[in-house]
């Protein structure tokens, strides 16, 4: 099968301050049936909790009691239980199943129960944090150690960004950074709303493309658009003094690079097939597919 972005067209960008969002359109989509994790959690069909009373930092236990599979997206934040976490990779969880998912902690200073179950925060990791996640997870997968991240690097990046943005948190929680800039999040969302028909987005801060996400259907992209944007707003707020803007040709160049990468199949966490690729340390990519239909393809670029 063809992994990457072979049929994608790049739309006109939305621009606000240093952030540019290019909608992506794919004329060859093959939709897969699933619910998003936040939908499943909200309806009660999906529960996410610690793997045991003692807990385990790099793992959570998910039970899908619903009749359809559920998609968790790389970088999405789950809050509650003993400490907040983010997904290390995108995972499809079968209907009526229970599975452990690989996660990273984004709240270094708490290890005590705040609730029994996790909820969806509505926020997403920044491109810089996703870079550390994808790079370290890909190396772990290659070494046959599973989807493990470099937890120390994750904590370091969360702390670095909080310091750079002047945000404070008693427990070092990434969620407190989002809360500190809640007004800015709303401002950017109003200026950079979902573009009808888009099934993905490429994001630039200043002149640099930092991330690309493509989904199997328009409805998924529409639902996660604002959430993905939250992480990129943090990137943009750090770069207020940057000059210049990325152009469509820059996005097309990165998509071409991703298409030409030597994609390698990896063992998936849940349902489907997983593929990973990289160009040195600069570009890291992954794809989750089901029956040859790309469910989530993403690329991150070193900051």
Angle between helical axes of 127-142 and 151-165 (0-180°, round to 10): 170
- Looking at residue 77, what is its pLDDT? 98
Q: Is the pTM of this model over 0.85?
A: yes
DSSP letters spanning 197-232: T--EEEEEETTEEEEEEEESSHHHHHHHHHHHHHHH
- Each domain of the chain, given as residue ranges in start order, spans 8-301
CA dihedral over 50, 116, 183, 228, signed as positive or negative? positive
Residue/partner pairs of 174-178 with CB below 8 Å, 24 or more apart = 174/77, 174/84, 174/86, 174/106, 174/107, 174/123, 174/125, 174/129, 175/77, 175/79, 175/84, 175/106, 175/107, 175/121, 175/123, 177/234, 178/121, 178/123, 178/230, 178/234
- Looking at residue 5, what is its pLDDT? 86
- Looking at residue 2, what is its pLDDT? 66
Element (H, E) at 128: helix 127-142
List strands edge to edge, sheet with 91-93.
35-36, 70-72, 91-93
Burial per residue of 100-128, b for 16 or more beta-carbon CB atoms within 10 angstroms, e otherwise: ebbbbbbbbebeeeeeeebbbbebbbbbb
- Looking at residue 292, what is its pLDDT? 87
DSSP letters spanning 232-289: HHHHHHHTTT------HHHHHHHHHHHHHS--EEE--SSBSEEEEEEETTTEEEEEEE
* Tokens, residue 286: 């992954």
- C-alpha distances out from residue 236 to 46, 147, 243, 245, 279, Å: 33, 28, 12, 12, 24
Give the helix, strand, coil percentages of the chain, each rounded to 5.
30, 35, 35
Spatial distance between the Cα atoms of 73 and 88, rounded to a whole number of angstroms: 9
Could you list the pLDDT tens digit for every one of the 303 residues in the chain?
Answer: 568 888 899 999 999 999 999 999 997 778 899 999 999 999 999 999 999 999 999 999 999 999 999 999 999 999 999 999 999 999 999 999 999 999 999 999 999 999 999 999 999 999 999 999 999 999 999 999 999 999 999 999 999 999 999 999 999 999 999 999 999 999 999 999 999 999 999 999 999 999 999 999 999 999 999 999 999 999 999 987 767 899 999 999 999 999 999 999 999 999 999 999 999 999 999 999 999 899 999 999 997
The conformation of residue 185, written as its DSSP 8-state character, comes to H
- C-alpha distances out from residue 287 to 14, 53, 213, 300, Å: 25, 33, 10, 12
């Amino acid at each position: 099968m063809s992994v990457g972005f072979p049929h994608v067209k790049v739309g006109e960008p939305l621009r606000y301050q240093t952030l540019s969002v290019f909608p992506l359109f794919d004329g060859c989509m093959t939709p897969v049936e699933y619910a998003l994790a936040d939908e499943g959690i909200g309806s009660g069909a999906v529960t996410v909790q610690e793997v045991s009373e003692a807990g385990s930092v790099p793992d959570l236990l998910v039970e899908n009691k619903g009749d359809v599979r559920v998609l968790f997206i790389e970088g999405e934040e789950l809050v509650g239980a003993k400490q907040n976490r983010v997904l290390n990779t995108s995972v499809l969880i079968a209907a009526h199943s229970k599975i452990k998912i690989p996660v990273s902690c984004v709240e270094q200073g708490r290890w005590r129960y705040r609730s029994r179950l996790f909820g969806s925060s509505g926020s997403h990791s920044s491109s810089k944090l996703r870079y550390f996640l994808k790079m370290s997870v890909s190396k772990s997968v290659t070494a046959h150690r599973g989807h493990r991240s470099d937890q120390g690097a994750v904590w370091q990046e969360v702390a670095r960004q909080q310091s750079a943005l002047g945000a404070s948190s008693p427990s070092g929680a990434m969620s407190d950074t989002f809360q500190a800039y809640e007004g800015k999040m709303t401002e950017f969302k109003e200026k950079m709303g979902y573009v009808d028909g888009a099934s993905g987005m490429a994001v630039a801060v200043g002149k640099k493309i930092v991330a690309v996400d493509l989904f199997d259907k328009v409805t998924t992209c529409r639902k996660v658009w604002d959430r993905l944007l939250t992480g990129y707003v943090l990137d943009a707020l750090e770069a207020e003094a940057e000059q210049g803007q990325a152009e469509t040709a820059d996005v097309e160049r990165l998509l071409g690079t991703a298409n030409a990468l030597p994609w390698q199949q990896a063992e998936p966490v849940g349902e489907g097939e997983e593929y990973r690729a990289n160009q040195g340390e600069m570009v890291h990519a992954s794809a989750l597919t089901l029956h040859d239909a790309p469910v989530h393809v993403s690329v991150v670029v070193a900051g």
